[in-house]
Structure 1
Amino acid sequence: MRRKWIRTNGWVFQVERSRGSTTCRRWRDPVKITIVQGGALPIPPVRGGAVEKVWFSLGREFAKRGHEVTHISRTFSELPSEQWLEGVHHVRVKGFELSSKRYIALWRDLGYAARVLHVLPRADILVTNNPVLPLLIRTSQFGALYVHVARYPKRQMRFYGHASRIQTVSQAAAEAIISQAPKIGGKVRVIPNPLPSAICTLDVAASWQERNKQILYVGRVHPEKGVHLLIDAFKLLVQSGVHGWRLIVVGPWAAAQGGGGEGYYQSLRARRAPVVDMVNLLGPIFDPDVLAIHYRHAKLFVYPSLAEYGEAFGLAPLEAMAQGCPPLVSTLACFQDFIENGRSGFIFNHRADRPEEELYRTLKTILSSDQELMSVAVRSHEVSRVYQSANVAEMYLKDFAVIGAARRVPHNRVAQ
């Protein structure tokens, strides 16, 4: 058999001649993509999880385009060990519950990764956000290793030098990766998180007066998310004479679900005591349709994250923007990729000496002009359209093609 590679018009063709027949293949034929999720949350994301929602959405987008997608995640009582959903082959192996102790979490990740190895299919691309699995992959039979970094790096990147790509979701996270592991700088690529759900047809300005005077938070109820700051700032807002507003907090507080635990939850309940009738702690809501209703009812979304070395993108503010609810976020650099202060959202200085007072003053200024708040809501909704799943899926597929061409086509054997 004779084989030749030809590169032309952005495509790479592989031509094979054998016994009088000729076969021509190109890289953008169906790609075999394996997605390996972390071992704590199931797919579909029936227990939430930003990364889980993102890759569940992207897997379906890849399958829509005719690619062969296998999605590996943890087992869950309500889900079979194997099934097909919207063209995606789902395989589930035994996972684990989250732990706040890092050494326990790593040990559980190791066990999960070892179990995943037994079910990995042959593929062209292997995508994973699991921190341990890349260390165990030392063969190309499972595909080009594509490490997805959705959290601020914690100096583990230097162990991933053998990966074909280190992909992260914001410029701030990319700069941190390169700073910590300069040798892999050439492999780092930024592709933003997509919106897991399709953007609804929404006339933000026309429906603005139908919204309630509600301030909304959606996310893990954990100290690093700054929920205590938000409650304290809201109390100051009420004490200053701003009335008629409610604060709605949605998200898990249990440690097993990534929250701050019982102690933190009880501290929040104590903090809201003076304004208990105006602050609702609703707990987790995983149904995307119910979450969308909360976003569409609120006039302001607040995400006061303090996670200097944890936050890499912040999907919740983007989801709020897609539903016409403008975001107010902290000054973490990761938000600056899609939020411009005063135009597509608002930013407060969480590094101030008294951040709760800084947040209170920002809130009071924002809420003083309903017309300006509406204008920012309109612009933020427009910005969110860039992040539709279909658009971001194409970014990934183009990057997969670059990696595939590099793997499949030896440079000295390509006809220019």
Structure 2
Amino acid sequence: MKITIIYGAFLPVPTLLGGAVEKMWIALAKEFVANGHEVVQICRQYEGMASDEVVDGLKYHRVKGYSAPESGLLYKIFDLFYTRRAIRKVPIDTDIIVTNTFWAPLLLSASFNKRVMVDVQRMPKGQMKFYKKSRRLRANSTPVAVAIKAELSSDLHSKVITVPNPLPFKVIDQVDLVDKKKEILYVGRVHPEKGLHLLLSAFKGIDTDWVLKIVGPVDVSAGGGGEQYLNKLKAEANERVQFVGPVYDTQKLNSYYSDAAVFVYPSVAEKGETFGLAPLEAMAWGCVPVVSNLLCFKDFIEDQKNGAIFDHRQPNAVDLLKAAIEALLEDSATRKKMAEESVKVRISHSTASIASQFLNEFKLMLNETS
């Protein structure tokens, strides 16, 4: 197959300026090539990058893009200008087109649209009805798929598929599931919607010598709740709580996952959580997750098998979270058994495994005639 990936207007590829979605598709593209397919990547032009080149078997076509504006209206306008340039680079003989730009499914010709998979990584906001001519609408989790279907008539629901995101790294190193440190870990934005107030209240009530480490950005510009919110959390914390700050280096972050025995992600963001990457990353290192009762986590966490789920919506949510954490701290045998189940995501959510799911779906798309 010839697979064309149309990236967004605002980040260069490879990911010099970050971009989790871009990193994911680059990794998947390399797997597609390794499986004998041809991949063309259309992305933003950036200083020092060639307009057309082949790197690691991937073909790149770059067109003029933009730095992301603060205005939502300008964002859509810039994306429109970029997408009009990008679709001119789509090879006429391409078999499959993957895109997460707003405009591409609307601007591509009817013949091309029959080959389009729209990559939906966030909760839709009414735009799905514009994409009904596309062949597939790919959700990265069950709640996103449910939200997509809610914007479509029932006869179009068959277009919606769920394929999870892969782990953003290859896990080769073995981890000693017995010789873990007495550490509880949280990784994510330090923001009220992440339920950290529940975590601190629960941890404060546990009589233990374990340490709680909170890793993540506080700055509003990075999605955090700001210094005032951090000071509020510190006032609630005891001496066993460590606020680490943001860690962007993958190797260093993985060392935190590898050291810790328990990972707690008590998010209360009913519509903000669409996948749950941090718990998945923790599981790959045998760090047993305790998560809130959000649908996205249930795609890969089964309560009391490879993690624990507490109901954050209940009035006694703090007590429920406290009990879930205490159970893991006090029962090392159960914790080890859950950790052994957790690390299986190394296989189920590996780039190779997820790439295979996409390739199977691409083949089904090609076999459909209507």
TM range (shorter): 0.7 to 0.9
SS at match of 2:296: helix
Q: Distance in 1 between matches of 2:113 and 2:160?
A: 21
Match of 2:119 among 140, 145, 148: 148
Partner of 1:249: 215
Q: Give the Å deviation of 1:239.
A: 4.9
Q: Give the Å deviation of 1:135.
A: 2.2
Q: Distance in 2 between matches of 1:98 and 1:216?
A: 34
Cα separation, partners in 2 of 1:190 and 1:83, compared to 1, 3 Å: same
Partner of 1:237: 203
Q: Distance in 1 between matches of 2:187 and 2:60?
A: 28
Q: Give the Å deviation of 1:191.
A: 1.8
User: Does residue 290 of structure 1 match 2:252?
Assistant: yes
SS at match of 1:200: coil
Partner of 1:164: 135
Q: Distance in 1 between matches of 2:201 and 2:52?
A: 49
User: Does residue 348 of structure 1 match 2:310?
Assistant: yes
Residues 206 and 322 in structure 2, CA contact (< 8 A), matched pair in contact too: no
Cα separation, partners in 2 of 1:134 and 1:280, compared to 1, 3 Å: same
Q: Give the Å deviation of 1:223.
A: 4.0
Partner of 2:241: 278
Cα separation, partners in 2 of 1:391 and 1:253, compared to 1, 3 Å: same
Q: Distance in 2 between matches of 1:61 and 1:134?
A: 25
User: Does residue 381 of structure 1 match 2:351?
Assistant: no
Match of 1:195 among 148, 167, 170: 167
Residues 40 and 58 in structure 2, CA contact (< 8 A), matched pair in contact too: yes
TM-score normalized with structure 2 length:
0.86
Q: Give the Å deviation of 1:232.
A: 4.9
Cα separation, partners in 2 of 1:81 and 1:323, compared to 1, 3 Å: farther
Q: Which moved more, 1:326-335 or 1:56-65?
A: 326-335
Q: Distance in 2 between matches of 1:362 and 1:45?
A: 38
After the TM superposition, which residues 321-332 of structure 1 pair with which residues of structure 2 at under 5 Å, given as runs?
321-332=283-294
Structure 1: segments with no counterpart, 5+ residues: 1-30, 411-416
Partner of 1:394: 356
Q: Distance in 2 between matches of 1:304 and 1:41?
A: 31
Residues 215 and 247 in structure 2, CA contact (< 8 A), matched pair in contact too: no
Q: Distance in 1 between matches of 2:189 and 2:44?
A: 20
Structure 2: segments with no counterpart, 5+ residues: none
Q: Which moved more, 1:311-320 or 1:62-71?
A: 311-320
Q: Give the Å deviation of 1:352.
A: 2.4
Structure having the higher Rg: 1
SS at match of 1:400: helix
Residues 15 and 22 in structure 2, CA contact (< 8 A), matched pair in contact too: yes
The letter of the residue matching 2:244 is L
Match of 1:362 among 315, 318, 324: 324
Q: Deviations over 1:43-79 (max 9, x none)?
A: 3345544423321211110111221212233455675
Q: Distance in 2 between matches of 1:208 and 1:89?
A: 41
Residues 32 and 68 in structure 1, CA contact (< 8 A), matched pair in contact too: yes
Residues 126 and 143 in structure 1, CA contact (< 8 A), matched pair in contact too: no
SS at match of 2:343: helix
Partner of 2:187: 218
User: Does residue 84 of structure 1 match 2:54?
Assistant: yes
Q: Give the Å deviation of 1:245.
A: 0.8
Q: Distance in 1 between matches of 2:318 and 2:52?
A: 48
Q: Deviations over 1:287-322 (max 9, x none)?
A: 332322221112122222333223332222222212
Cα separation, partners in 2 of 1:307 and 1:236, compared to 1, 3 Å: closer
Q: Give the Å deviation of 1:197.
A: 2.4
Number of aligned residue pairs:
366
Residues 258 and 286 in structure 2, CA contact (< 8 A), matched pair in contact too: yes
Q: Distance in 1 between matches of 2:211 and 2:177?
A: 15
SS at match of 2:368: helix
The letter of the residue matching 2:5 is I
Q: Distance in 2 between matches of 1:46 and 1:276?
A: 38
Q: Which moved more, 1:73-82 or 1:299-308?
A: 73-82
Q: Distance in 1 between matches of 2:247 and 2:9?
A: 20
Q: State, as a whole percentage, how many aligned pairs show the same letter.
A: 36
Match of 2:24 among 42, 54, 65: 54
Residues 5 and 99 in structure 2, CA contact (< 8 A), matched pair in contact too: yes
SS at match of 1:210: coil
Q: Give the Å deviation of 1:325.
A: 1.5
Q: Give the Å deviation of 1:326.
A: 1.7
Q: Distance in 2 between matches of 1:264 and 1:361?
A: 30
Match of 1:137 among 108, 111, 121: 108
Partner of 1:7: none
Q: Distance in 2 between matches of 1:352 and 1:77?
A: 52
Q: Distance in 1 between matches of 2:362 and 2:299?
A: 23
Partner of 1:66: 36
TM-score normalized with structure 1 length:
0.77
Q: Give the Å deviation of 1:335.
A: 1.5
Q: Give the Å deviation of 1:181.
A: 0.6
